[in-house]
Structure 1
Amino acid sequence: MRQQPVIAVVGPTAAGKSDLAVDIALRLEGECVNADSMQLYRGMDVGTAKLTLDERRGVPHHLLDIWDVTVTASVAEYQKLARPLIESLAVPVLVGGSGLYVRAAIDDLEFPGTDPEIRARLEAELAERGPAPLYERLREADPVAAEAILPSNGRRIVRALEVIEHSGRPFSATMPSFEAVYPSVQIGLDVPRPELDARIETRVGRMWAAGLVEEVRGLLERGLARGRTASRALGYAQVVRFLEGEWSEEQALAETVRATRRFARRQESWFRRDPRVNWLPYDAPDLLERALETIKAEGSA
């Protein structure tokens, strides 16, 4: 068990997490550990706002660029990589907006096995009948899990039913809790919604100017279309539709802004449910000092 806490910088996209994490790491002689599921992919740089080497300012960054774009993301695999790394670092600074990945790194989160035959059968039923009858089955088998899953989320409904059938246990028994594996201090960046919407629009515009379309075109040559996760990433999915002639470039850009704003709301909702997150104003002039004070106070509690 770690004695020193894991520091986690969390919050919605475009809030400034990456820069604050570097600032904290520089002051505490720490190292950053990526918890953004899309930054795990090699070559997905512009569209994920991955820090350049210069922007990392000499701070070591771990778990970036580890998967090819054809690989399907696995939070269970991420957990296997993140845990030993966190244990090996004196001051790990976890940074990213993928809430489940943050929880997988620091909380007692279990990932049950899979059964390809059960999964295939349920996915076939989902394709044929839609999510409604599967959701009703889940509600009867595991009301707690059904309450936490949207009735329209066919992928998660299938996964829940697969786990129940495969393990004989409720899916809710494996869902995230707030029981920590490591002591941690979580810093959340609070951005008022109108400002966050504006920051997202500015960021997407900068991504386009920085060559997102060219990046996606190159990744398509490397198999992006075969990647079940990477091909659906924000910005990448929209640019693919533009390159395939389905949308105009202007429409792809506007849809990226809209989808990113919607995603940011889901991120904020996820992190707001965690009572352990210490929220600080993203634009506070003394943000770093306030973050360091929080880390010191909670770390010695």
Structure 2
Amino acid sequence: MPQPIVALVGATASGKTGLSLDLAERLGGEVVNTDAMQVYRGMDIGTAKLPVAERRGVPHHLLDILDVTEPATVAHFQGWARSSIADIRGHGATPVLVGGSALYTRAIVDRFEFPGTDESLRRELEAELERIGGPALHARLEGVDPAAAAQIEPDNGRRTVRALEVIALTGRPYGAGMPRLEYADPLTVQIGVDIDRPTLDERIARRVDEMFAAGFVEEVEALLDRGLADGLTSQRAIGYREVIGFLTGDRTLAEAIEQTKTGTRRFSRRQDGWFRKDPRIVWVAHDDPDRVAKAVGAIESLS
């Protein structure tokens, strides 16, 4: 029988990384990154990427595979992750996915086929985005598909363009093409890390302070020299855009730090909202001393 697929989910700073290592050690597993920004070389401090020395010898996949100028889409991630999962299972190990995006995780573990693309239509929408701006284009999306608009930030022009493209191509709401709550492989279990909001907010604030103390501004400066400002995906990372604003004189360092905390808290709430809608997730408390055993029990119940 193949090894199960384990997906660890939950809000940023909730403790997923530590639990992923615990489970990988217990299960004889290997970690597959499902964080959209940790695929980028040099984006280390701002993404809380685990240093090699702290990975306990557990093999990690899909880290440091792209330059900051290269785009990464959900479709890319689906292909990369499923290939890594197949390789890991092929030599008898257990893949342990860890990341905070419900869409990325579900695109990997659930049945989901991506709608096609139309280059001409895409160019037209991108030209419109350039002409009228992200919020205005987002308002157009809200008029034709309010449910999709509610899931996309008004300043995320790239996702707005994609949603409008899919709607035009399929004649259906963008949400109709989202992954179904049906695992592509029945030997899949999602483990969620449950944490109360005050504790999470405190962790986020501490993490951001530590990022800036560890040289986050210098990291962004180095990445700008490597083309970060031109990266369609990478430059949208929380924290990086705020530091870029500081370096260009649009905000003070204190404002960049506070805005990074605010953006991360807002993102964590969206993450939690997404994950809570999935009834298949087995939740374990972040501070439960038996959380590893409980997670293992849920995994073993698949067999």
Q: TM-score of the superposition, structure 2-length normalised?
A: 0.90
Note the 1:179-218 alignment, pairs <5 A.
179-182=182-185, 183-218=187-222
Letter aligned with residue 163 of structure 2: A
Equivalent residue number for residue 86 of structure 2: 87
Distance 1:122-1:278 versus aligned 2 partners, 3 A rule: same
Among 112, 125, 136, the alignment partner of 1:109 is 112
Aligned partner letter, 1:184: T
Partner Cα distance (2:287, 2:257) in 1: 26
Deviation, structure 1 residue 46: 0.6
Structure 1 outlier segments of 4+, above 4 Å: 167-170
Give me the CA root mean square deviation: 2.0
Give ranges in structure 1 of 5+ residues lacking alignment: 140-145
Superposition map of 1:49-88 within 5 A: 49-88=48-87
1:138 maps onto 2:137 in alignment: no
Amino acid paired to 1:250: A
Relative to structure 1, the CA distance from residue 132 to residue 192 in structure 2 (aligned partners, 3 Å threshold; closer, same or farther) is closer
Q: Measure, in 2, the Cα distance between the counterparts of 1:187 and 1:56.
A: 20
The 1-side partners of 2:14 and 2:66 are apart by 25
Gaps of 5+ in 2: none
Structure 1, residues 102-147: CA drift from partner, whole Å, max 9, x if none?
A: 11211111212222221232344454382376336624xxxxxx32
Taking the aligned partners of 2:166 and 2:210, their CA distance within structure 1 comes to 42
Give deviations 1:172-205, integer Å, cap 9, x for gaps. 4421211111221111011100110000000001
| Structure 2 residue aligned with 1:142 | none
* Pairing 1:37–2:41 present: no
Deviations 1:194-243 (A, max 9, x none): 11000000000111111111111110110001112211211111111111
Identity of aligned residues (%): 53
CA deviation profile, 1:17-68 (whole Å, cap 9, x unmatched)? 1111011001111000001111011110111111111210000000001111
Match for residue 239 of structure 1? 243
- In 2, Cα distance between equivalents of 1:152 and 1:222: 27
Q: Is the 8 A contact 1:131 1:152 kept in 2?
A: no
Alignment of 1:163 with 2:146, yes or no, is no
* SS of equivalent residue, structure 2 residue 182: coil
Once the two structures are overlaid, the 10-residue window that deviates more, 286-295 or 25-34, is 286-295
1:133–1:247: structure 2 CA closer, same or farther, 3 Å change rule? closer
**Could you say what secondary structure the match of 2:264 adopts?**
helix
Q: How far apart, CA to CA, are the structure 2 residues paired with 1:159 and 1:174? A: 12
| Structure-2 change in CA distance of 1:244 and 1:133 (3 Å) | closer
What is the one-letter code of the residue matched to 1:215? E
1:70–1:224 CA contact under 8 A, matched in 2: yes
- 3-state secondary structure, aligned to 2:97: strand
Calculate the TM-score normalised by the size of structure 1.
Answer: 0.91
Q: How far 1:294 sits from its partner (Å)?
A: 1.9
1:262-289 CA-to-partner distances (Å, cap 9, x unmatched) read 0000011111111111111101122212
Aligned residues: 292
Give the corresponding residue for 2:149: 149
Q: Distance in 1 between matches of 2:41 and 2:22?
A: 25
The alpha carbon displacement at 1:168 in A equals 5.1
Aligned residue identity for 1:82: A
Amino acid at match of 1:147: A
CA distance, structure 1, for counterparts of residue 2 and residue 127 of structure 2? 48
